[in-house]
Structure 1
Amino acid sequence: MLRLLLELAPCLLAGFWLGRRFPALPSQLAPPLLRWGMPLSLTGLLLKSGLPLSAIPMAGLIAAVTASGLFLCRQIPALLPARSLQLGAVVGNTGYFGLPVAIALLPSEALGFSVIYDLIGSLITWSAGPLLLSPGQSRASALSLFKTPVVQALLIALPLGMSPWGSLLGQWLWLPARVVLWLLLLLVGMRLGLVLQRIDQAEKRSSPSLTAALAIKLLVLPGVMWLVSVLLQLPALMQQALVLQAAAPTAMSVLLLAEAADAQNKGGEETIPAARLVLWSSGAAVLSLPLWFQLTAAM
């Protein structure tokens, strides 16, 4: 747990302060990180861990649990009235938050499993997310998922991993990959600082719908993933990777999609619930993720 805090806390706290002090900085840092840094980092992680082609069927399990969770959340509008809460309760910040956690707590062999989870989560977020929140923009957003960093990294890492230089490139890219992930954590902290500014003027007290979304994201979803992986008798390392990624806080992309939906539908009410869920889940995950790690490690 100490190692996790040493990995996460300095970057998140520094980013939080920078985001509050320099509001324009995240918009300047994000484009090069997403365009170049994130694909490079994911490529390095995949080459370092080895491409877990034997674990590709695991993608079906991830998709089934996530899609089923989203379907069930859609069936309880009285509990989760905002569509952004329904989406945010099941899709996590696996790229910026989950991967650093995996590096801090798990051996490098588990990184490939974590990247596969990030891939499936990205596909669901950028296909079902726009359809749920902004139906008129669903086609354009669905096409944009092919430009996501995890897809780009897979397209680069697959041929390199099968080449004689894959292992050597993985060693060379390991340190740059770690640096990029630290910068991404810094960016998460900056955006959380901006999110807090955004809801400063809104009602700050919690609500039953926010509490329910937090419970589903941080407790129910990883609990279901752990139970299913145990019943299927998956390898212990794969179980840990799946549970930790399922327990990642709500994805920042949910907030971006909510903002797009409110811009399209004047007077929409999706942004503030999404902002609250991103903020509170990110803070609570710093405490809940080590507990999930201890639970899965003990089994």
Structure 2
Amino acid sequence: MLRLLAELIPGLLGGYLLGRFKPGWVKPLATPLVRYGVPISLMGLLLKGGLNSSLLSTAATAAAAIFGMLLVLRRWRRESDQWLSPTLQLGSCVGNTAYFGIPVALALLPPEALSISIGYDFGATLLSWGLGPIWLAGSSQEAHPHRWRVLIHHLSSSPASRGLLGALLVMATPWQTTITSALWMPSRVVIVLALIVVGMRLAGLSEERSEATHNTAAPIAPSQALNAALGCKLLLFPALVLGLTLVLPISAFARQALVLQAAAPTAISVLLMAETEQADSSAAAQLIWRSTLLAIVTVPIWAVLLKTLGERLGT
């Protein structure tokens, strides 16, 4: 956890300071990060974990769990007061697996769990970047006469799809090992840049709060909705995945890997999508910030509970 904090805090702090002085740099940095950075990062993870049936089944499990949670949240949403916006719904189940969950798995689980964690990240990334832009658009997309074409378009053009295609092309060459090693450093750069974008957005959010304190007509932050989203992301969704893993015939370390990925804080990609889709980016930034701080406490608790459960089940 100390290593994780050492990687997390400098990027957030540097981005915060940069955002205070250069607030207009957020979107110019976020756009190429989404277009090029995410595919490169995912390519590196897929090549490292290896594309096999186990990874694909784990990806399908992750995608099914996230989509099921989204449907539950949409049904739960109260249309009269718009309690949980599409942004908060997405942030309640799409976790920061690549930059938080996988490092946690490496620190707390055996090496065999890496492929499970990467499979979860791939499934979650593919679903979130494919469905996320449509989901953030809200009910207007539901009435779209060609919504299935829109969905297919987003899936085919998503960073996750490009990352998968790139990984498949690399695996077809005799230089797979060399390219996999070469992609690791760019993947690390993507992590730093993503954290900087979050820090820059948080700087803008702090300025908005400062202006709101001097403007009585400014909208009040929906604290109840944020608290509900936090509870869903850090407690309810991991519990849902835990219940799912108890039904599936999987090993104890696979169960631990899946639940720890589900318990990761809200993904940075939710903020990036909110920025590019003109959605509620302020709520996304608040949810990322709060869930990341709280996950430093809740994720180790989940790890202890999973270890105790594994001992009692004898698996």
TM-score, normalization: structure 1? 0.79
**1:116 is matched by which residue type in structure 2?**
G
**2:118 is matched by which residue type in structure 1?**
G
1:1-299 pair list within 5 angstroms? 1-78=1-78, 81-84=83-86, 85-94=88-97, 98=101, 107=111, 108-110=114-116, 112-113=118-119, 114-132=121-139, 134-135=141-142, 140=150, 143-200=153-210, 201=212, 207-251=223-267, 254=270, 273-296=283-306, 299=310
Q: Distance in 2 between matches of 1:174 and 1:256?
A: 22
Query: Which stretch has the larger CA shift, 194-203 or 116-125?
Result: 194-203
**Aligned alpha-carbon RMSD (Å):** 3.4
Q: Distance in 2 between matches of 1:225 and 1:262?
A: 31
Query: Which stretch has the larger CA shift, 35-44 or 227-236?
Result: 227-236
8 Å CA contact 2:96, 2:268 repeated in 1: yes
8 Å CA contact 1:73, 1:86 repeated in 2: yes
8 Å CA contact 1:88, 1:251 repeated in 2: yes
SS of residue in 2 equivalent to 1:250: coil
Name structure 2 gaps, 5 residues minimum.
213-217, 311-315
**2:235 is matched by which residue type in structure 1?**
L
Q: Distance in 2 between matches of 1:23 and 1:73?
A: 33
Name structure 1 gaps, 5 residues minimum.
264-269
Q: Deviations over 1:54-79 (max 9, x none)?
A: 33122332233222212222232349
**1:165 is matched by which residue type in structure 2?**
W
Q: Deviations over 1:192-241 (max 9, x none)?
A: 32233334425667633322221011111012212322331324444344
Query: Which stretch has the larger CA shift, 234-243 or 149-158?
Result: 234-243
SS of residue in 2 equivalent to 1:163: coil
Q: Distance in 2 between matches of 1:44 and 1:275?
A: 26
8 Å CA contact 2:47, 2:180 repeated in 1: yes
Query: Which stretch has the larger CA shift, 49-58 or 145-154?
Result: 49-58
TM-score, normalization: structure 2? 0.76
8 Å CA contact 2:234, 2:298 repeated in 1: yes
Count of aligned pairs between the two proteins: 293
Shift of 1:152: 0.5
Q: Distance in 2 between matches of 1:294 and 1:133?
A: 43
